[in-house]
Amino acid sequence: MSTPTDIAGKSDGSGGGAVERTDVVVIGSGFGGAIAAYHLAAGGAKVTVLERGPWVPSDEFEHDFLLGSSYTRIFDFVVGDGMSVLGGNCVGGGSVVYFAAMPRAPRFVFDRQGSLGRRMWPSSIDRDALDPWYDRVAEALPIIRQDWSDVTYSGGLFAAACAHAGRTANPAPAAIDRDKCTNCNWMMAGCRFDAKRSLLLNYLPAAVAHGAEIRPLHEVQLLSRTDDGGYRVHYNVIDGEDYRVTAGSGTLDAKLVVVAAGAGATPVILKRSEGALGPMPHGVGRYFSGNGERLNTAVFDEERVRSVLGLSHGDAAYAASQIGKGPCVASWDRLDPDLPEFSRFTLEQLYFPPGFGTILAQVPGADGRPTWFGPEKKEMLRSWQSWLTVFTMSEDDNEGVFGDLPPTGNAERISQQMLGRGPLRYDPTANTLRGWAESDAEVRDILERDGLARVLPWTNDLVGAYTVHPLASCRIGDDPATSALDDRHELRGHPGIFVTDGSAVPGALTVNPAFTIAALAERAMPGIVQAARERGVEVRYGAPAPDGATSARRAAFPLVRSLTRP
């Protein structure tokens, strides 16, 4: 077994040995962590990124669902009480496993009240205030507006069904290089063709070029204070094949810490740090949102599709939705600001590759109760090539709460890779349930019309709800009683600790959240750089986009003063 000295190259700081130091530790390498690492390193700071998962190059992304493949290595599936969370577990975080859909949040989102009875978002942030930071992200990736020539059969089928039902549908904006995309539809396992604009292609390599160090398989456990007013980051080193095995441990001292471990892990790290740092704000580990997500599986009658919609997939090697991109067409008809809260949602066509998709689909059993197994499921699997999955993102009530912490990490590991049991409890309120019911009814009205398909909605009876877009467990806000962070993303009562991942987003967005998480991280950077300077780090703000572009930087520059302390 390796010792901390073997792994980190220096002692862990115990027993009087040399203490390893850096200017800034960034915990996590998804959108929130990668953007922070790039700007701080480009500004001259010594940056160390600690990432829980492995560093998997694109030529190792595999098109299968076997144990030890890229699928199980780069995912983290944590089962909670009433809510399961699926996220990235690798260098690049969620950007490696996401479907690259990148819409901006609707304007009404920033005025949401939820169950608070008042605006959740800080008064300083609305859509107009965030647009320049969206532009910065778009310059870095970049993001394309897909047109109908990009749309696959599955997207066209969903759009045609929407039109037949009197609804609209549109191609989704996406961080995809259309010239490199092969329409293999395995992007959820990591894009081996570098067509999907993950962080492995922009912010992270640019951060490394400016001197940032990325350490994979380093799982942060907690933070403590150092005698000079900085922070000590305590970590375990994880075995590369069996994530239940710890290969060593160590510490790293920093003047400033950016926590971006994801909304399912960031609050666990901070709550575990209370013994060393003192009480955390009330909002740490509370107000979790699953982005109001819901899954419906539709099994199409191919004859009805031909006779009613005039569509056929012909002699394609894979029938229906097995050729294409993950999500490419969405219906935004219900993103109407005049609708009451909890009645607004996106319907997005997507595709889960074989193995994962077939496991997720539920069917009514012989007793009418939902099941994943049995003769009914076996019969449904015969027509798996005619499945269309519709993904709902609605408005939930921020009802998730993190309870007793696992001994290490964010979950008790159940299997060698991927699967764990976590401390999240989620009891959906009447508001959330109403939103799910309305979205389910909309899906049925669109896809079951004239016998096109049979819709099988997700139920919470067996494992509860799920989310692939966890949010809000350490959210920003104006009210210290209901937000863990101020509007600059600094942890209340703990200066020098910032949170920039999805946990900072105040609530459900009704759309895919990656673009908004990234825009908020970009917006937080001027304040984080100023705080680093105040703590003795020689760093400046003003780096261009990772590829050197500067037009969005110039547009955002007038806003920088408002994001720093006077």
pLDDT digits (tens, 9 = 90+) for 147-159: 898 888 888 999 9
DSSP per position, 28-55: --SHHHHHHHHHHHHTT--EEEE-SS--
18, pLDDT greater than 60: yes
- Across residues 356-374, what is the average pLDDT? 65
Q: Is the dihedral of CA 481, 485, 488, 493 positive or negative?
A: positive
Q: Are the CB atoms for 26 and 258 separated by under 8 Å?
A: yes
Share of the chain above pLDDT 90, in %: 71
- Going by pLDDT thresholds of 50, 70 and 90, the confidence category of residue 8 is very low
9, pLDDT greater than 60: no
What the block records as the tokens of 118 is 């008042």
68, pLDDT greater than 80: no
Round to whole Å and give the CA distance between 542 and 529: 10
Look at residues 170, 175, 188 and name the one whose alpha carbon lies nearest to residue 137.
175
For residue range 277-331, list pLDDT tens digits in order: 999 999 999 999 999 999 888 888 889 999 999 998 776 555 555 667 767 899 9
Residue 228, class by beta-carbon neighbours within 10 Å (0-12 exposed, 13-18 middle, 19+ buried)? exposed
Q: Which of 8-12, 160-164, 296-300, 542-546 shows the lowest mean pLDDT across its residues? A: 8-12
Whose tokens are 């039902």? That residue is: 165
- Going by pLDDT thresholds of 50, 70 and 90, the confidence category of residue 566 is low
pLDDT averaged over the chain? 89
Q: Are the CB atoms for 348 and 393 separated by under 8 Å?
A: yes
User: How far is CA 85 from each of CA 78, 139, 421, rounded to the nearest angstrom?
Assistant: 5, 30, 10
The structural domains of the chain, with segments of one domain joined by +, span 20-140+197-292+399-426+469-532, 145-174+294-394+428-463
What lies within 8 Å, CB to CB, of 292 at 6+ separation is 345, 392, 393, 394, 395, 396, 432, 435, 436, 508, 510
Q: Measure the CA angle with vertex 544, ends 541 and 550; round to 5°.
A: 125
What lies within 8 Å, CB to CB, of 272 at 6+ separation is 221, 222, 405
- Going by pLDDT thresholds of 50, 70 and 90, the confidence category of residue 4 is very low
For residue range 528-543, list pLDDT tens digits in order: 999 999 999 999 999 9
User: What one-character DSSP code corresponds to residue 451?
Assistant: G
User: How far is CA 393 from each of CA 196, 248, 331, rounded to the nearest angstrom?
Assistant: 22, 40, 11
For residue range 69-117, list pLDDT tens digits in order: 887 899 899 999 999 999 999 999 999 999 999 999 999 999 999 988 8
Identity of residue 157? L
Q: Which of 20-29, 268-277, 288-297, 457-466 shows the lowest mean pLDDT across its residues? A: 457-466
Q: Which of 218-227, 358-367, 387-396 shows the lowest mean pLDDT across its residues? A: 358-367
For residue range 233-247, list pLDDT tens digits in order: 999 999 999 999 999
For residue range 502-518, list pLDDT tens digits in order: 999 999 999 999 999 99
173 bridge partner residues: 145
Round to whole Å and give the CA distance between 174 and 176: 5
pLDDT (0 to 100) of residue 61: 92
How many residues in total does the chain contain? 566
249 bridge partner residues: 236
pLDDT (0 to 100) of residue 392: 96
Which pairing describes strands 21-27 and 47-50: parallel, antiparallel, or unpaired?
parallel
- Across residues 403-415, what is the average pLDDT? 95
For residue range 320-341, list pLDDT tens digits in order: 556 677 678 999 999 999 999 9
pLDDT (0 to 100) of residue 350: 84
25, pLDDT greater than 90: yes
- Across residues 15-24, what is the average pLDDT? 78
3-state SS, residue 239: coil
130, pLDDT greater than 80: yes
CATH of domain 145-174+294-394+428-463: 3.30.410
Higher pLDDT, 486 or 558: 486
What the block records as the tokens of 391 is 């993904």
pLDDT (0 to 100) of residue 316: 58
Look at residues 524, 516, 474, 470 and name the one whose alpha carbon lies nearest to residue 494.
474
pLDDT (0 to 100) of residue 15: 38
Query: Residue 59: how many CB atoms within 10 A of its CB?
Result: 9
CATH of domain 20-140+197-292+399-426+469-532: 3.50.50.60
451, pLDDT greater than 90: yes
Round to whole Å and give the CA distance between 94 and 26: 16
Query: Do 20-140+197-292+399-426+469-532 and 145-174+294-394+428-463 come out as alike in CATH topology?
Result: no
- Across residues 3-16, what is the average pLDDT? 35
pLDDT (0 to 100) of residue 3: 29
Q: Are the CB atoms for 38 and 212 separated by under 8 Å?
A: yes
What the block records as the tokens of 222 is 């907690």
361, pLDDT greater than 70: no
- Going by pLDDT thresholds of 50, 70 and 90, the confidence category of residue 10 is very low
Q: Is the dihedral of CA 85, 90, 91, 97 positive or negative?
A: negative
- Across residues 435-462, what is the average pLDDT? 90
Q: Are the CB atoms for 392 and 345 separated by under 8 Å?
A: yes
3-state SS, residue 429: coil
373, pLDDT greater than 50: yes
Backbone φ/ψ region at 92: left (φ over 0), alpha (ψ -120 to 50), beta: left
pLDDT (0 to 100) of residue 560: 63
Q: Are the CB atoms for 213 and 47 separated by under 8 Å?
A: yes
Alpha carbon 327 to chain centroid, angstroms = 15
